[in-house]
A and B are shown apart, each in its own frame.
Chain A
């Protein structure tokens, strides 16, 4: 009886030892001098996230790098990159002065355009940035003040904390506190589009990639919402998709991933996901 138990214990220990040794040998592989199987940790914007996921998926097919992506919001991603928790942070807004002061480098991997949308029957097709601000802060509440029909404006916005909302508010220049109180809050671009498409009073904002026939797009300061206009910096409702990293913290593997994104292949993937390529 005892001997059987002892044998069992010995077997178990052997088993554990095997697993442990397997682990250590794996670790050695990871630290291999050739840099293969290295891990690049990326965290940040939920707007950049899907694009980064796609790029990483394509990239890891050919390269042995592990790319871990956490979508936790621009601000948190920038904080992580600064503190070294993540190698690379993703941001869907420009860096603030105090963030730049922390020694962060930024690479624009693509641009995103935001477009103001209305119901297709709405006669208003062109607004100035000031008018957009007046609509979303509730200074203008009827479409007839903007050259449209006499009907009330229903503002549709994203939820507080959303990267798109932050970007929109920053570009248009109003704060969350100033947003008209009775605005409908919808979660997600698709939800905003559906709400606007089903309400002839409504106005909202979505990413370029969600534009379709169900809604009508608004020109800003007479400039149409197109990728070309964003790249030529004529269309002002746009934002950069940034990869940020701390000076000197970028590993070889991280650098190669960024190089891949900026390559023709990488930019093609960006275009496929609806972002606007840098080149």
Chain B
């Protein structure tokens, strides 16, 4: 009597095990598919943008050099030059860095080193929230507050300018810089601070001579990530840039960065015009790739 029962039990257990292993295998497959999904999406996007964007240069007989260095963008007259936009994108990003990095870095230092826990608990969430605000709202803010402010304060004929773009981008990159830099500063071992204090160095001296150098790679990462955010930002910029097609020579010139060129004209574009907007995307993509490369270099250095 007992033998058949155990056999039956063994069969039951075997079945259960089989089911378990099946489930195990199935789950790992599902995880793999999910993981591949983002890679596939990336490849599809790259493939699509490059396929569309390269077409006019490969098949249409347009010169890529003229595209990069041409200063005329008149799609209806078959002129596609994005030099003014490349310059605008670079200037806007550098400008935003000049304003955003010191403010962001000082905020991070303040939160990690100087502020009391209670104060930090108020400021930190505020900065996190700043990161969550949809970018178009930054644009509306810029349009309603920054542009009239610039017009009235500096007596400009128009507030839509490189300066307005820089100010909006500087605010937008703050959360990224603050959060990443703060983490880096907090990761500096306590012994560094104690050692510095023991030598009689003041708190500010310790921060700038010991802690910031120790957290250098983390801070660099913060800056590069902020840069990425600034160069790729579209919706906020489109509202405050003015989108003029000139190579900016002063802060008060209205500009058209690469991103806004795509967003502004994609709605109506077709044929070569549309493909040239994809080509603009390739240039933008190259910038982001270079940034990521730099970021990888920094992280590798930090690891050593």
Q: Using CB atoms and an 8 Å cutoff, list the residues of chain A in contact with chain B.
A: 46, 72-73, 76, 151-152, 154, 159-163, 166, 175-177, 181-187, 194-195, 198-199, 201-202
Chain B residue nearest to A74 in the complex (CB)? B268
Task: Name B158's contact: one of A76, A176, A199 (CB within 8 Å).
Answer: A199
Question: Which 8 pairs from chain A and chain B are nearest by CB?
Answer: A161-B268, A185-B243, A184-B242, A152-B157, A177-B74, A176-B76, A201-B157, A154-B158
Give Cα distance in the complex from A181 to B147, angstroms: 20
Interface contact B264-A187, CB-CB below 8 Å: yes
Q: For residue A73, which residues in chain B have a CB less than 8 angstroms away from its CB? A: 268, 270
Task: Give the tally of cross-chain contacts (CB within 8 A).
Answer: 77
Instruction: Choose from B74, B158, B254 the contact partner of A201 (Cβ within 8 Å).
Output: B158
- Report whether B77 and A175 are in contact in the complex, using a CB–CB cutoff of 8 Å: yes
Contact of A161 among B238, B246, B273 (CB under 8 A): B273
Tally chain B residues at the interface, Cβ within 8 Å: 31
User: How far does the alpha carbon of A182 sit from the alpha carbon of B249 in the complex, in Å?
Assistant: 12
7 new A-B pairs (CB below 8 Å) besides A184-B254, A185-B242, A187-B264?
A: A73-B270, A159-B243, A160-B265, A161-B75, A175-B76, A177-B79, A199-B157
Residues of chain A contacted by B206 (CB below 8 angstroms): none
Return the CB mask of B242-269 against A: 1 if under 8 Å, else 0.
1111100000011010000000110111
Which residues B179-207 have CB closer than 8 A to chain A? Answer: none
Q: Report whether B151 and A199 are in contact in the complex, using a CB–CB cutoff of 8 Å.
A: yes
Known contacts A177-B79, A185-B243, A198-B147; A154 and B157 CB within 8 A of each other: yes
Contacts A151-B157, A160-B76 given; does A184 touch B243 at CB 8 Å: yes
Known: A46-B268, A176-B75. A181 touches B246 (CB 8 A): yes
Contacts of A162 on B, CB cut-off 8 Å? 268
CB within 8 A of A160: which of B75, B151, B159?
Answer: B75
B72, CB-defined interface residue at 8 Å = yes
Shortest CB–CB separation between residue B133 and chain A, in angstroms? Answer: 21
A100, chain B: closest CB distance, angstroms: 20
Beta-carbon contacts under 8 Å, B269-287 to A: 269-270, 273
Complex alpha-carbon distance, A194 and B148, angstroms: 12
Give every chain A residue within 8 A of B75 (Cβ-Cβ).
160-161, 176
CA distance A166 to B264 in the complex (A): 16
A163 — which chain B residues lie within 8 A by C-beta?
Answer: 268
Query: Are A182 and B244 neighbours in the complex by a CB distance under 8 Å?
Result: yes
- Nearest residue (CB) in B for A151 is B157
B160 within 8 A of A: yes
Residue pair A159, B244 in contact (C-beta under 8 Å): no
Whether B76 contacts A184 by the Cβ 8 Å rule is no
Assembled-state Cα–Cα distance A271/B75 (Å): 33
Give 22 pairs: A residue, B residue, CB < 8 Å, sorted on A: A46-B267, A159-B243, A159-B265, A160-B265, A161-B267, A163-B268, A166-B76, A175-B76, A176-B75, A176-B77, A177-B77, A177-B79, A182-B254, A183-B244, A184-B244, A184-B254, A185-B244, A187-B238, A199-B151, A199-B158, A201-B158, A202-B158
Residue of A175, A184, A185 most packed against chain B (CB within 10 A): A185
Distance of A186 Cα from B76 Cα, bound (Å): 17
CB distance from B241 to the nearest CB of A (A): 9
Report the minimal beta-carbon distance from A275 to chain B, rounded to whole angstroms: 20
Interface bits B75-87 vs A (CB < 8 Å: 1, else 0): 1110100000000
Task: Please give, as numbers and ranges, the residues of chain B lying within 8 Å of A182 by CB-CB distance.
Answer: 244, 246, 253-254
Cβ contacts under 8 Å, B243 to chain A: 159, 184-186
What chain B residues lie within 8 Å of A160 (beta carbons)?
Answer: 73-76, 265, 268, 273
- Measured in the bound complex, the distance between the Cα atoms of B242 and A144 in whole Å is 24
Give the docked Cα–Cα distance between A100 and B207 (Å): 75
In the bound complex, CA of A199 to CA of B238 (Å): 17
Chain B CB within 10 Å, residue with most, of A166, A195, A201, A202: A195
Distance in angstroms between the alpha carbons of A72 and B160 in the assembled complex: 29
Nearest to A166 among chain B residues (CB) is B76
Across the interface, which residues of A come within 8 angstroms of B74, CB to CB?
160, 175-177
In whole angstroms, what is the CA distance A194 to B158 when docked?
13
Q: Is the CB of B273 within 8 A of A184?
A: no
Best-surrounded residue of B79, B143, B157, B253 (most CB of chain A within 10 A): B157
Residue of A nearest to B254 (CB): A184
**A161, B244: Cβ atoms closer than 8 Å:** no
Q: How far is the CA of A159 from the CA of B242 in the complex (A)?
A: 11
Neighbouring B residues of A154 by C-beta, 8 Å: 157-158
* List of A residues within 8 angstroms of B256 by Cβ: 185
Would you give the shortest CB distance from B294 to chain A, in whole angstroms?
32
Residue of chain A at shortest CB distance from B255: A182
CB neighbours of B151 from chain A (8 A): 199
Chain B residues, Cβ within 8 Å of A194: 143
Chain B: CB-nearest residue to A169:
B76
Interface digits, B228-243 against A, CB 8 Å rule (1 contact, 0 not)? Answer: 0000000000100011
Please give, as numbers and ranges, the residues of chain A lying within 8 Å of B238 by CB-CB distance: 187
CA of A75 to CA of B254, assembled, Å: 30
- Bound-state CA distance A164–B79 (Å) is 21
Fill in one digit per residue for B58-76: 1 if any A CB lies within 8 Å of its CB, else 0.
0000000000000011111
Min CB–CB distance A75 → chain B (angstroms): 8
Give bound CA distance, A46 to B254, whole Å.
27
Residues on the A chain within 8 Å of B158, using CB:
154, 184, 199, 201-202
